[in-house]
Amino acid sequence: MPSAAVRGIRPPRETVTVRVPPVEVEVRGAKVTVVEVHGYDWLDGRRYLVSCFVETDGYRSPLFHLDVRDEDELARKLAVEIAKMRLAIFAGFTRFLSPAT
């Protein structure tokens, strides 16, 4: 049987969205820098491993990774990380943080 291209049937086009990191965004008053995004297929669909760090209140977090399904889940998880970081700063536990530049 001839291939689809020979029969005149075109394969479906794939769409590609390109965002070149690093990307800086503001979430809840903190500056978030997305350094790298790696997509992979999982049992429940497409997922992404996002590498980023947060700058807020004069401090910068170490690089950390979030496993997310979409941008909404990323925003929710970033809000949690920012809250944890602000709580650590408020409590004086800043030895794992760097001064923000």
The chain-wide mean pLDDT, for the chain, equals 87
pLDDT digits (tens, 9 = 90+) for 43-84: 989 999 999 999 999 999 999 999 999 999 999 999 999 999
Give bridge partners of residue 51 from the DSSP assignment: 36, 65
User: Which range is most confident: 9-13, 43-47, 87-91?
Assistant: 87-91
Question: Cα separation of 33 and 17, whole Å?
Answer: 19
pLDDT digits (tens, 9 = 90+) for 48-59: 999 999 999 999
Question: Cα separation of 31 and 57, whole Å?
Answer: 10
pTM of the model: 0.77
Of the candidates 37, 40, 39, 41, the one whose C-alpha atom is nearest the C-alpha of residue 52 is 37
Cα–chain-centroid distance for residue 51? Answer: 6
pLDDT band at 12 (very low <50, low <70, confident <90, very high): low
Where are the chain's structural domains?
23-93
Per-residue model confidence (pLDDT) at position 85: 96
Question: Cα separation of 25 and 34, whole Å?
Answer: 8
The torsion of the CA quartet 94, 38, 22, 99, rounded to 10 degrees, works out to 10
